[in-house]
Structure 1
């Protein structure tokens, strides 16, 4: 069974292992998340969320949404950025990333009409986000957008 849990106070047990797995794949966004979280500098404002996925009770992945700061200054109005996504290799191809993305897309569209992602970090990121409905876009500091 897949369970999504919203984080408020602390990162989940086993998060250090997730950071190590990500780092081993050359993905640094989990280390950035750990650093930002320890400083209280991320996922703390209105309109922001950090979700953790558990599959059969085991930490499977994580994904977040923050305010997209560049959108307003570029004339797009308020927007949110989906970010800090990672699914453990052993948990891939089981719907974890899709469930995380779907929950955050749904929540994001409750308050804004534009969602962004930066899918430059890995070869699998671009096709994943495009499968979620995002379109390539270079009008801002993002690679893809999804409009309501």
Structure 2
């Protein structure tokens, strides 16, 4: 069973193994997460979150939501997103992304993501509803639809 857990004080116990797998694939965002964590960046400001995905008790992936400072309107950025290779294609990334998207859209109308980390990232985020957009320090955006009544 997949379990999503909000991270507050300490990175998950198996984080170092996950970070090593990311680095082995040339993905540096987990190393950046570890560096930021040591510097006190904890995804605990208003509108921020860091979620860990556990499958059968094993750390399968991580994803964060932070304030997007590069937008002209209030926005959030999905960042530090990584799912371990052995857990891909099983719904972990989609569940993690869905939770972060829902949380972000609960407070703002615009979400951004930088999908430069891998060739698969752009198509993944597009499948989640994001559209390619290079108007800021991101590669993709998702805007909440506002229905006029």
Category of TM-score, reference length = shorter chain: over 0.9
**Aligned-pair CA distance for 1:45:** 1.1
Q: Deviations over 1:64-87 (max 9, x none)?
A: 000000113xxxx10000010101
TM-score by length of 2: 0.95
Partner residue of 2:111? 115
Query: What stretches of structure 2 of length at least 5 have no aligned partner?
Result: 145-149
The answer for the alignment partner of 2:31 in structure 1 is 31
RMSD, aligned α-carbons: 0.7
CA deviation digits over 1:10-30, x for unaligned, max 9?
100110001111101111100
Q: Is residue 81 of structure 2 the alignment partner of residue 80 of structure 1?
A: no
Contact kept in structure 1, 2:9 and 2:42, CA below 8 Å: no
Unaligned runs of 5+ in 1: none
Task: Compute the TM-score of the two structures, normalised by the length of structure 1.
Answer: 0.95
Structure 1 runs of 4+ with >6 Å offset: none
Matched positions, count? 144
